[in-house]
Amino acid sequence: MRKNFSLLLGALLLLFQVGIAQTKVSGRITAKKDGASLAGATVQVKGTTVSTATDENGNFSINVPANRSVLRITYLGYKTVEVNVANAGSIAMEDDASDMTEVVVTGYRTQQKKNFVGSAGNIKGEEFASMPIASFDQALQGRTPGLIMRASSGQPGSSGSAIIRGRGSINGSTEPIYIVDGIQIAAADFAQINPNDITNVSVLKDAVATSLYGSRGGNGVMVITTKRGGGGKTKFEVEAFTGWSTFPTFRDYRLMTTAEKIEYELRRGGTSLSGYDDAELDSLAKINTDWEKETTRTGRTYSVNASAAGGSDKTRYFASVNYFTQEGSVRNTGFNRIVGRFNLSQDAGNFSFGLNTSGTVSDFQNTSEGNTGIGTPLNAGIWTNPYEQPFVPGFYNAAGNFVAGGSVLTRPRIAESFQPIPTTDLFWNNNNSNDLRFIAGANAEYRIPFVKGLSVRTLYGIDYRQFNSDGFTDRRTYNGGFNPRPTSGQFTNFRTSSFARDFFKSQRITWTSSLNYMKSFGEHTIDAGAYYETVDLKTASSGRTVFLLQSPFQNEAGATINGELLPRIRANATEAALESYFGLMNYSFKNRYFVSANIRRDGSSRFGADRRFATFGGIGAAWAMSDEAFMAGTRSWLNLLKVKASYGTVGNQEGIGAYESQGTVSGRSQNAAQGTVIATPANPELQWESRKKFNTGVEFALFNNKLTGGIEYYNEVTENLFLPVELSRTSGFGTLTKNIGSVRNSGVEIALNYDIIRNKDMRLSINGNITFNKNEVVKLAERDSVVSGSVIRAIGKPVNSIFLVEYAGVNPDNGNAQYRNLDGTLTETYNLTQRRIVGNQDPTYFGGYGFDFSYKGIGLNGQFSFFGGQDLFNNERNNIENPDYFYDNMNADVLGEWQKPGDITNIPRPDNEFVATTTRFLENSSFTRLRNVTLSYTLPTKLSTAATLKSVMFYVMGTNLFTITQFRGRDPEFAGGISLTGAQYPAMRTVQAGIRVGF
Amino acid sequence: MKTLINKGFLASAMLVAVLSGCKKDLELSAPFALTPDNVFTDLASYQRHLTGGVYGQFASADYYNGFAGVATELLTDNCYETLESLVNFNQVHNWLYDAADRQRAYFTSMFLIHYNAIHQANAIITNIDQVKAENERFYNRVLGQALAARAIAHFDLLKGFADHGDRNSTAPGVYYRRDMKLDYPSRNTVKEVYDGIYADLNQAIQLLGNVDQAINTASNRGSIDIWGARAALARVALHGKDYQTAIQQSTLLINQFPLATRAQFPGIWNDGNAVEQIWNIVNLSGDPGAFPSAEIMSFRANRNTFGILPDLIRLYDTTGFGATGAGNDIRFSSYFFLRNTSPNGNNNWGLRKFAGKASAQDNLVNYKVFRVAEQYLIRAEAYARTTQDALGSADLNALKTARINGWVNTPYAGTALIAEIARERRRELCFEGHRWFDQKRTDRVMNRVLTGTGNPNGGVQVSLPANSHRWIWPIPEVEIRANKQFSQNPGY
C-alpha cells in the first residue's frame, strides 16, 4: 500500500513539472438546457495538445500557455464551444439534438454515453412523468431493450416485477436491485417514488456497468437519479390531472345467464334446484345478477404535483410535493399517496456536500387476489350464480350462525351453491394498510487541494419503510366463520369478528466511502477509485389479532380477552449484511479508445464463515471508430460508430434466507408448553451464485444524427446456482439449497430512433426496441431434468418450461377426453409419463415502439409494448369449465359439452374423469398493448407570458386503452408464474386530463 | 515537498478513519431462531424439543390433525362426498390416487411430516447421552418418549405405505431412520421395520418405567407415558398378527384404565374429561392446524364436506334417539348429528365427533390417539384369532355393556365373533383413523356410492377390489424422483 502511494506521488510530480510560463484558468461547464453540470467534458487549449476533463460538478482548471487564449470545449452530444479564457468562468453548452447527450449514471458516477464501455439503457423522466399508474415502475415497460417489466397485479399501488436480460436464477432472486441517488432501496419502495421527481433511469446490464454493485448486481441494476436544482432563479411547476379507470373487459369468454344456468343445472341434476317446484324456479329465473358489475366500478384518479428548483452558483436545490389518489376499478379498493422531496447540494471551497431526502405516506385498501379461495371476492365475482343476489335480508340466529332451511331468496351468506357470495366479504371485511417510507442520503466530498484530481467521498444512506396493516373480518362473512368461538359463558359457540393489526419495519443502511482520482494528461484521461462499502438490512415485524364478541367496535376497543379469545401475537426480525472492497478504473485515450476495469471482494452474512467472501471482477473496452482519421470520408453521413465489448463476473446472494446456511430451530408451543423444532437443517456449504457476463455491441448515429441506435449481443451464464436439491423425504426434509447447476441467457437487443421530420415548427420521430432472449438450463444436479408440478427444468430448455399432457379434444363416439401420447397416438387415459414441454413462462422476444409528433404547440405521442413467445396456464378457465364445479356459474361454452354420440365438441361429457393439468387451458399469453397515448397542447409563449406564466400545457392521456392478445382471461400481463391461479385484478384502463403550468 | 507528503498522510488517515468507522461484522445470528448447533444445552432443552419438535409435529395438520387422523376416513365406506366439498376430494375419495398425488397431496405431505417428526426425535435420541449425567431419571423420561415417538411414526408410515399385515414379512416396508443424515436410503423389509418398532417401544417401556416425575396427569394425557408406549405396542402387535404381545399389553392397559360410564362418555368427545384416554393430541385455541375433523365436517366454514353413510348409521341401536334423548347406544349422539334433510327427502347426517370443546362447534378439540376402548377390541380380536373365543366374547360384551343401554350379554364365537368385533370397531372407533387400516389388514372390502351425486342412498355404487394396488398407498413421486434407491409400490 505504502509503495503504491509513493508511485502515485511520483506520477504526480511528473505532472507538476509542466508548469512553466502558464496561466491557470478555471471554470464550470453546464448544459444550457437545464443547467446540469457536465462531467467529463474535454477542455482543450486551442492549437495545443494541452487538455483536461471536467470533474463531477463540471469544474475544470487548465494551465494555458502564455501565447494562447482560446479554449475549445467538446462534449459528445453538445455543440462544440470555443471561448476566450477571459470568459471561461461559466460555460453553457447547447444541445446537439442527438441521443449521445445521454449520460449513463452508474450510481456515484456519471459517464458520457460515448465513453461508456458497458451496456446500459436509459429512460428519461419525462417519458413516464404523468402516467396515472400508482406504481411508476410499470410505466417503464417497453421503454428500453433487455428489461422485462410486467405488472403482477392491477391493484392500485402494487409493484411490478422486473427481469433484466432473462431469468438468471432458478431458486435465487431474479429481481434487479434499485439504487436511488446512490442508495439501495427495496423494489417496493422504487415503485412508490414520485415519477415527477425523476430525471433519469439507467438500466445497467453487463459486468462493467454493474461493477459498482458486484455483490448485488447479478440481476442488473436500476439506477434512478432525481432532479437537481439548476442554480439561478427559482423555477416553479405545477401539474394536476384527473382520470377515470375502468375494469377492463378483455376477457374472451361469456358466463352463463340465469336461464342457461338453470337449464344446465337441471340437465346435470343433483343440485338443490332439482328439488324446486316450478314456482320456485320461476322466481329464481327472474334474478339475473351481473356479478362483475356488482363488484367493479369506474374509479377516479386525482393527482397534483408541485415543484420548485433553483439556487445559486454554490447552492442548488429541488423541492417537490405530490399527491396522488386512485380508486380501484374493483369496489372497496384504492390507494392514495403523498410524497415530498428535498434535494440540496452545496459547494464550499474544496468541500461539497449534499442531502437527498424523500418521504412517502401511502394508504392502501386492498382485496385478496391470486388464489382460488372461495372467500375471495374477485373469484366469487366470476363463479357466483347469476340467480343469486348481492344482498338479501339475513337469517341469523342469536349466535350469528346461518340458519339452514330457508328458500333461496333468504340465504344471505352461503349461496345455494355453498359458496359465499362475493359482496359480503368485499363490503363487510376491510383490508387496509399504510406505508411510511423515508429515503435519505447524505454525501460529502473533499477535494484534496494539493493533489489535483484526488478526492475522498462518503455517502451514507438509509431506506426506511414502515408498513402498518389492519384488517377487520366480520363475523357474518365467510372468512369470519374461521374465528374462534367461546366454549363457555353467556355467548358459548357464538361467532366472533376479528381484527388484525400488523407492523413491519425495514431499514437498509448503505455506507460507501472512496478515494478517487481523476486526471487528464495530454490525450490520456484516467478516473479511478478505491471503495469500501457496507450494506446492512434489518427487518422487524410484529402483529396481533384480537377477537370481538358482540362489540360495536371494529378494532382493539372491542376485543374480548379471555378463554379461547386470547389475542394472537406474532413477531419476527432478521438482519443481513454485506461488506465489499473494490477498485474501479476508467481510462480513455484520444477520446476514442476507452477501457474500464474493476475488481472486488465481497462478503455476505448469508453464507457460512468459510464461504463468506468471493472475488469478482470485469473488464471492458470501446472504440469510437468514427473519430479515426481513416473514417474522415464517411463523416458526411456517419456521425458516430462505436464498438464495445466487456466481460466479467458478478455475484448474487439474494433469494436465500438470511440464516439459511446456519439452519434454523423455531419455537413451537404444544400442550401449553413452549418447545423447539428444527425448521431447516444447517447448510454450511452454501456460497455465492456467480454470473459470467459477456457483452458486445455497436452504437451508431447516421444522417446528421437523425437515425441513432445500437445493437448488442449478450451471453450470461450463472454458475453455482442456488438449486433446491431434492432430498430423500426419509430425512424429514424436502429440499436443500445447494450451489449446483448453471443457466444461460443469451440474446440480441436492438434499439432505434429515427427523426423523420425535424424543423422549427414540426417534429416527428419514431422509436422502437426489441430484445430476443434465449434462456436455457445448462446444468442441473445429477440429472437431466427436475419436474415440480407442471413446471420442468430440463437441460437445454428455458428455466420454467411448462410440462403438460397434450389435450386432443373429445372422442365424438363416447364423449371422453382424449390425450396425445408422446408417440402421437391418441388415448383416453391421462398418463403423467406422456407429458412434454408445451410452453414457456417468459417471453422469447419483447420490446416496445412509439412515435412522437409535435407541430407548434400540439403534441401527440404514443407508446406500445409487446411480449411474444410466452404462455400461461389459464386456471381461471379451469375454475369455470371443470364439470365438477357446476353448482357454480360456468363458462357458457360448457353448454356445448358432449351429450350424445356424434357430437363434435371440445368439451368432454361431464362425468368423464376431469384432469385440469393438460394443454386444454394452456394459452398463448403474448400481447401487444397500447401502454400510453398522449395528446397535448402548449400555449404559445406570447399568451403564457401575458398571464405572467412561463409555460402552460394541457393534455389528455389514455393508458392501457387496448390490448391485442389471444389469451382469453382478464389480462395476459402476469408475472406470478406459469399459472394464472385465479382472482386476477387486471391492469386498469384509464383516461385522464391534465394541466401543467410553469412559472 | 515535505508538506505534500504530510498532507498525503493526513488524507489517507482521514480515509482510514472513515473506513474503519463503518466496518461491518458479518457474523449475524437470528433473533427469532436458534440453530441445530446451539439448541441443545441441558436436559430441559431436550424436553423442550420433545414438546415442540416431536409433539408439535404429531399435532400438525398433515399428521394426527389431518390425514393421519380423522381425514383417513374419507377413503372408507363410512362417509360420502357431498356437493359442499366442491368436489375437491373426489380423486382421493374414489381411490383414483397415483404417485403424483395431484389432488390434495395427502400422501406426499404425510410421508414428509412423519419423517420430520422422526428427525426431531432422532435429534434427541442421537445427542441426549451427552447430558445423561445431569439426571438419569429425567434422561429416561425424555429419551423414553422420543423412542416411543420414533416407533409410532414409523408404524404410521408402515401401515399406510407397505403391505404390513405380517410381523415377519420380507415385503418392502419403509426406511427405519435412526440418524439425522440427509442421505438416500433404500427400503427396509416389513420385518426390519417391525423389529425397529419393537426395539424402540420395548426400550421406551423400560425407560418410562423409571422416571423422575409423572409425564401425564389424570386430566391431561398429552404425552406418551409408559401406557402410551404399551398402547402403541398392543396396536402394532395386532396389525402384525403377534397376538401374544397384543394380549399381554392390552391386558395391562385394561387393568389400568376403566371404561367410561354412559354419563361420562359424551365428555370424552368435548374434552369435558380424559376418561379412557391414554394419549391424545392436545389442541388449544391458537395452535396451528388444531382442527382434527375439519376436512370431514367444518363447523367454522359451515361446510359438510363428507356426510355419514346410512350403512354406518344403521349399525347403531338408535332406539330412543331424538325426542326422548341420546338413544340406546350412547355413542350415536356423540358421534353424529342430523345436518339437514335434503330436497330429495334424505336425512343427511354429519360428523359431531371432534366438533369442539364443551358446547362449542368449531372443530377445535383434542385428537384421541389411544383410548382404552380400542384395547378391549384389540384383546378381543387377539383372543378370537387364537381360538380363545370365550375370552374374546367377554371383552366385546364388556364394551357393549358400557355403551348400550340395556345390553344383554350375548356370547359370540368363531367367524361371527370376528365379524362382530369388526362391526364393533367400526361403531366404536369410526373417524379415529382405524377403518381403512382394519379393512386393509383383514378382508379388504370397501363399497359405497360414487361421489358427486350428493345423494347418500342412490347413485352409482363403487367398490375397491381386494386385489387393488391402491390398498397400499403410493410412495410419493417426489421421493422416487429424489431417491433412486427407494422402490415404488406395485401398480403405481
Question: In angstroms, rounded to a whole number, what is the distance separating the alpha carbons of residues B254 and B250?
Answer: 6
What share of chain A has pLDDT > 90, as a percent?
Answer: 10
Region B328-350: mean pLDDT is 80
Region A223-244: mean pLDDT is 82
Chain B: residue whose CA lies nearest to A1: B12
B205-232: per-residue pLDDT in tens? Answer: 999 999 999 999 999 999 999 999 999 9
Asked if pLDDT for residue B26 goes beyond 50, the answer is: yes
Asked if pLDDT for residue B491 goes beyond 60, the answer is: yes
Question: In angstroms, rounded to a whole number, what is the distance separating the alpha carbons of residues A171 and A190?
Answer: 23
Per-state percent for chain A, helix, strand, coil, to nearest 5: 15, 50, 35
Give the strand order in the sheet containing A922-924. A922-924, A871-874, A979-980
β-sheet bridge partners, residue A862? A851, A933
Region A80-95: mean pLDDT is 78
What is residue A239's three-state secondary structure? Answer: strand
Q: Which residue has the cell 384480537?
A: A546
**Angle, CA of A654, A659 and A663, to the nearest 5°:** 130
Tell me the CA distances in angstroms from A971 to A22, A132, A248, B101, one per residue in order.
69, 18, 8, 31
Residue that wins the pLDDT comparison between A95 and A162: A162
Asked if pLDDT for residue A152 goes beyond 80, the answer is: no
Write the Ramachandran bin of B447: left for phi over 0, alpha for psi from -120 to 50, otherwise beta: beta
What is residue B220's three-state secondary structure? Answer: coil
Residue that wins the pLDDT comparison between B129 and B91: B129
Asked if B222 lies within 8 A of A669 by C-beta distance, the reply is no
Q: What is the DSSP string of B146-158?
A: HHHHHHHHHHHHH
Question: In angstroms, rounded to a whole number, what is the distance separating the alpha carbons of residues B387 and B381?
Answer: 10
Kind and range of the H or E element at B456? none
Residue that wins the pLDDT comparison between B346 and B99: B99
Residue A90 has phi, psi (to 5 degrees) of -140, 115
Residue that wins the pLDDT comparison between A184 and A505: A505
Which residues of chain B are within 8 Å of residue A446 when distances are taken between CB atoms? 14
Asked if A832 lies within 8 A of B282 by C-beta distance, the reply is no
User: Which pLDDT score, from 0 to 100, does residue A269 have?
Assistant: 74
A161-182: per-residue pLDDT in tens? Answer: 777 877 777 766 778 888 888 7
User: Which pLDDT score, from 0 to 100, does residue A103 have?
Assistant: 57
For A564, which of B8, B285, B302 is closest by C-beta distance? B285
Asked if A668 lies within 8 A of B286 by C-beta distance, the reply is no
For B19, which of A513, A571, A575 is closest by C-beta distance? A513
Region B384-397: mean pLDDT is 95
Question: In angstroms, rounded to a whole number, what is the distance separating the alpha carbons of residues B33 and A661?
Answer: 13
Asked if pLDDT for residue A445 goes beyond 80, the answer is: yes
Region A238-249: mean pLDDT is 84
Interface membership of B473 toward A (CB under 8 Å): no
Region A384-404: mean pLDDT is 56
User: Which pLDDT score, from 0 to 100, does residue A1 have?
Assistant: 37
Mark which residues 935-974 of A lie under 8 Å from B by CB. none
Asked if pLDDT for residue A929 goes beyond 60, the answer is: yes
Residue A843 to chain B, least CA–CA distance (Å): 28
Asked if B28 lies within 8 A of A671 by C-beta distance, the reply is no
User: Which pLDDT score, from 0 to 100, does residue A131 have?
Assistant: 61
Which residues of chain B are within 8 Å of residue A276 when distances are taken between CB atoms? 343
Question: In angstroms, rounded to a whole number, what is the distance separating the alpha carbons of residues A714 and A119?
Answer: 9
Asked if A408 and A416 touch (Cβ cutoff 8 Å), the reply is: yes
User: Which pLDDT score, from 0 to 100, does residue A406 have?
Assistant: 37
- Could you give the ipTM of this predicted complex? 0.92
DSSP E strands: which ranges in A99-230? Answer: 103-105, 110-112, 120-124, 147-151, 160-164, 177-180, 183-185, 198-204, 221-226
Q: Predicted confidence band at A399 (pLDDT cuts at 50, 70, 90)?
A: very low
Mark which residues 711-740 of A lie under 8 Å from B by CB. 726-734, 736
Residue that wins the pLDDT comparison between A569 and A153: A569
Q: For residue A510, give every residue at least 6 positions away whose Cβ sits within 8 Å of its Cβ, in sequence order, or none.
A: A182, A183, A184, A459, A460, A461, A462, A463, A533, A534, A535
User: Which pLDDT score, from 0 to 100, does residue B130 have?
Assistant: 95
Asked if pLDDT for residue A986 goes beyond 50, the answer is: yes
Asked if pLDDT for residue A500 goes beyond 90, the answer is: yes
Q: What is the DSSP string of B353-416?
A: TT--STT--SS---EEEEEHHHHHHHHHHHHHTTT-HHHHHHHHHHHHHHHBTTPPP----HHH
For A675, which of B52, B100, B356 is closest by C-beta distance? B52
Which value, in Å, is the radius of gyration of the alpha carbons in chain B?
27
Average model confidence (pLDDT) across chain A: 81
Choose the most confident range, by mean pLDDT, from A4-13, A233-242, B248-257, B288-297. B248-257
Write the Ramachandran bin of A9: left for phi over 0, alpha for psi from -120 to 50, otherwise beta: alpha
Chain A: residue whose CA lies nearest to B280: A671
Chain B: residue whose CA lies nearest to A673: B51
Question: In angstroms, rounded to a whole number, what is the distance separating the alpha carbons of residues B367 and B257?
Answer: 18
B94-110: per-residue pLDDT in tens? Answer: 898 988 887 888 999 99
Residue A402 to chain B, least CA–CA distance (Å): 8
Q: Predicted confidence band at B119 (pLDDT cuts at 50, 70, 90)?
A: very high
Q: Which residue has the cell 449475524?
A: B28
A706-741: per-residue pLDDT in tens? Answer: 888 889 999 989 888 888 888 999 999 998 888 888
For A681, which of B59, B117, B182 is closest by C-beta distance? B182
Asked if A450 lies within 8 A of B184 by C-beta distance, the reply is no
User: Which pLDDT score, from 0 to 100, does residue A15 have?
Assistant: 38
Q: Predicted confidence band at B16 (pLDDT cuts at 50, 70, 90)?
A: low
Interface membership of B182 toward A (CB under 8 Å): yes
Asked if A670 lies within 8 A of B56 by C-beta distance, the reply is yes
Interface membership of A9 toward B (CB under 8 Å): yes
User: Which pLDDT score, from 0 to 100, does residue B58 have?
Assistant: 96
Question: In angstroms, rounded to a whole number, what is the distance separating the alpha carbons of residues A653 and A105?
Answer: 24
Q: Predicted confidence band at B351 (pLDDT cuts at 50, 70, 90)?
A: very high
Question: In angstroms, rounded to a whole number, what is the distance separating the alpha carbons of residues A401 and A395?
Answer: 8
Residue A921 has phi, psi (to 5 degrees) of -105, 10
Q: Predicted confidence band at A991 (pLDDT cuts at 50, 70, 90)?
A: confident
Asked if pLDDT for residue B458 goes beyond 90, the answer is: no
Written as one letter, the residue type at A766 is I
For A726, which of B29, B118, B478 is closest by C-beta distance? B478
Which grid cell sits at B206? 423400560
Average model confidence (pLDDT) across chain B: 89
User: Which pLDDT score, from 0 to 100, does residue A419 have?
Assistant: 65
Task: Give this prediction's pTM.
Answer: 0.81
User: Which pLDDT score, from 0 to 100, does residue B134 have?
Assistant: 94
A345-355: per-residue pLDDT in tens? Answer: 888 888 888 89
What share of chain B has pLDDT > 70, as a percent?
Answer: 91
Give first-to-last CA distance, chain A, whole Å.
Answer: 55
Which residues of chain A are within 8 Å of residue B112 when distances are taken between CB atoms? 729, 732-734
Interface membership of B213 toward A (CB under 8 Å): no
User: Which pLDDT score, from 0 to 100, does residue A858 have?
Assistant: 87
Q: Predicted confidence band at B346 (pLDDT cuts at 50, 70, 90)?
A: low
Question: In angstroms, rounded to a whole number, what is the distance separating the alpha carbons of residues A223 and A203?
Answer: 6
Interface membership of A834 toward B (CB under 8 Å): no
A–B: how many Cβ contacts below 8 A? Answer: 284
Which value, in Å, is the radius of gyration of the alpha carbons in chain A?
32
Interface membership of B126 toward A (CB under 8 Å): no
Asked if A659 lies within 8 A of B90 by C-beta distance, the reply is no
Question: In angstroms, rounded to a whole number, what is the distance separating the alpha carbons of residues A366 and A334?
Answer: 7
User: Which pLDDT score, from 0 to 100, does residue A413 have?
Assistant: 37
Query: In A891-984, which residue ranges form alpha helices assigned H by DSSP?
Result: 941-946
Q: What is the DSSP string of B429-454?
A: HTTTT-HHHHHHHTT---EEEPTTS-
Q: Predicted confidence band at A22 (pLDDT cuts at 50, 70, 90)?
A: low
**Virtual torsion, Cα A475, A479, A483, A487, nearest 10 deg:** 70
User: Which pLDDT score, from 0 to 100, does residue A409 have?
Assistant: 34
For B51, which of A482, A675, A730 is closest by C-beta distance? A675
A879-917: per-residue pLDDT in tens? Answer: 888 887 887 888 888 888 888 898 888 898 887 888 888
User: Which pLDDT score, from 0 to 100, does residue A81 have?
Assistant: 80
Q: Predicted confidence band at B455 (pLDDT cuts at 50, 70, 90)?
A: low
What share of chain B has pLDDT > 90, as a percent?
Answer: 70
Asked if pLDDT for residue B459 goes beyond 70, the answer is: no
